[in-house]
Structure 1
């Protein structure tokens, strides 16, 4: 795990401890997150996961905004318990009051969507395609059936695949 990220997590905890005048249990931190999310806080496990690619591509903003955002989730959970909204007033209080940051829910990092193979299904009544994911296509192979909402006929695989 990059040292700067680890240092920022620790700095966020020290800031929260000074603000609330109490100690907080440090989380396990990992760099095993892929996809569109920059970070995830696992509240009951006291664990933070960060996306290494988005970290490298957006280093300054990641350290300034994303790390405090995720730490604030764990702090809110330790202070207020598990019945609070993820981006509710308790979390917002920590973002504004402790870290003096806007309580932005989502990042604006450029994220490349990965290409997905779609399996094309059709019914008897419409010329529309029904593109199925690989997971749904596998369910059909194991016997699951899907139906057209209009004619109620079973959707059948055309043999066509496309990458989207």
Structure 2
């Protein structure tokens, strides 16, 4: 889905942020492997112990400017924070420091990209206060006996219409 030119552009942009971190911390950072097969709603993911970054090919194609501005530095910051500070909270103060003070980017923990083309089938569930849209994965877990509760009202989620 992502052509070679796009892959090179994403890796090149990632490299820019690694260089910024190296200049700031005055040390080298090991470069990750890159995969372009992220699935679901996530635009990207950083696998710390594997030193791997995955990018979502469909979301990249539809939002390349946002990817270069926000998703790439977000994922690189995870690896930089892990390699420099060790095991820390995923979007904790160390990651935020890298994003804001080194990469000069907002430390947004989630993206606001349109995910309608990658969301998959949704199932309506009801609690005591609202309706929730659950993925097929969560729906299937409920069918197997797992129970989910609303974070707001703590009511158990029940499939809507039953």
Range class of TM-score, shorter chain? 0.7 to 0.9
Q: How does 1:148-159 map to 2 (within 5 A)?
A: none
Partners of 1:145 and 1:28 in 2: CA distance: 36
Instruction: Give me the whole-angstrom Cα distance separating, in 2, the residues matched to 1:145 and 1:80.
Output: 37
3-state SS of 1:114 partner: coil
Kindly indicate whether the alpha-carbon contact (under 8 Å) linking 1:39 and 1:66 is maintained by their aligned counterparts in 2.
Answer: yes
After TM superposition, where is structure 1 displaced by more than 2 Å over at least 4 residues in a row? 131-137
The alignment status of 1:98 with 2:113, answered yes or no, reads no
Which residue in 2 is equivalent to 1:133? 139
TM-score by length of 1: 0.71
> 70, 74, 99: which is aligned to 2:79?
74
Greater Rg over alpha carbons, structure: 1
Q: Give structure 2 stretches of 5+ with no counterpart.
A: 125-133, 148-159
Match of 1:19 among 24, 45, 62: 24
- Out of 60, 65, 76, the residue aligned to residue 55 of structure 1 is 60
CA distance, structure 2, for counterparts of residue 85 and residue 101 of structure 1: 19
1:134 offset after TM fit, Å?
Answer: 3.5
- Counterpart-to-counterpart distance in 2, 1:90 and 1:4: 27
Matching residue of 2:9 = 4
Cα separation, partners in 2 of 1:117 and 1:12, compared to 1, 3 Å: same
Compute the RMSD of aligned alpha carbons: 2.6
Aligned residues: 131
- Secondary structure of 2:61's counterpart equals helix
- Equivalent residue number for residue 85 of structure 1: 89
